[in-house]
Amino acid sequence: MIDLKTPSEIEAMRPAGVFVSEVLTALKQHAAVGVNLLELDELAHGMIRERGATSCYIDYHPSFGASPFGHVLCTSVNDAVLHGLPHDYTLRDGDLLSVDFAASVDGWVSDSALSVVVGTPREEDLRVIEATERALEAAIGAAVTGNRLGDISAAIGAVAADYGYGVNTQFGGHGVGREMHGAPHVPNAGRAGRGLPLRPGLVVALEPWFMTGTDEIYTDDDGWTLRSQDGSRGAHSEHTVAVTEDGPVVLTARA
C-alpha cells in the first residue's frame, strides 16, 4: 500500500531530512586516508545519540540479510557497491567510498547516500560518482505531478546509458515514511509514461547506483555487502524526495 503524506506530514519529515544530511556531511568531511570504517560508524552513532534519533539499520533484518545489520551506516568500498557492512578496514589512498544512512526523528524517516574518493582520485571513479549524481538530479526533476513512476526510472536509466553503464534493477529507490522501506519500488531503469501516476504526498528515496564494468552483483561472505561480479567499482547517490503541488522537495538536501 502506498501512503501519501499530507502537507503537514511532509513538513514533519523535514527534521529527519536535515539530520540525515548533517550526518552525511560530517562523514564526508571525516573520511580520509587512515580512518577506519568502524570509526565512521561510531561517529554517526554518536550523532544519533546526541540528537535523540533512532537508527533504521542497527536492527534491520530483511530476507536478503544474513542477520540483523548491527551498525548504523552502510560503508561500501571500491567493488562493494551496496549494503556495505562496516568492519575493521582502514581507508587507503584512492579508495572509492559510498556511505548510506537512514534515521528516524520524531517518528519520521529520511534516507540518503553519497560517494567520495579518499585521497588521490582515479578519473573513472570521479566519472561514476558524477554519473550517479547526474542521474539523481534527473530523477528528482522527473518527480512531478502528472508524470509516472516510469518517468523517474527512465530518467535514471538514460543517464546511465549516456555514460555507458549498465543498470542493475534488483535494488533501487523506495517509499519512505514512518518506516525506511515501503511501496513503491523505484527501479533505476524503466519506460517513460508507464507505471504509477505521481501524486502530491508521495515521498520516495531515489537512489541511482552504477558499476563501471557490469550490472551483476553477488553477496559477500559477511551476508550483507553486495559486490560487483567482475570486481569493478561502483558509486551510489540518494535523496529522500517529496512530490508536491509545487514540484519536488528534497528533504535530505545538503548545504
Known binding-site positions for a divalent metal cation: 100, 111, 174, 207, 238
Helix, strand, coil share of the chain (percent; to 5): 30, 25, 45
Q: Which residues contact 63 (CB under 8 A, 6 or more apart)?
A: none
92 Cβ partners below 8 Å, 6+ apart? 33, 118, 119
DSSP-assigned states of every residue in 160-198: HHHHT-----SS-EEE-SSSSSEEEEE-SS--TT-SSBP
| Rounded to 5°, angle at Cα 111 from 223 and 222 | 10
- Nearest Cα neighbor of 31 from 112, 86, 91 is 91
Calpha distance 125→99 (Å, rounded): 15
According to DSSP, the residues that pair with 117 across neighbouring strands are 96
Cβ partners under 8 Å of residue 182, min gap 6: 2, 3, 174, 175, 176
- Strand runs labelled E in the chain: 54-55, 74-77, 80-82, 96-105, 108-117, 173-175, 182-186, 203-206, 209-211, 217-219, 226-228, 234-236, 239-244, 247-250
Which residues does the annotation place in the binding site? 83, 100, 111, 174, 181, 207, 238
Q: Extract the annotated binding site for substrate.
A: 83, 181
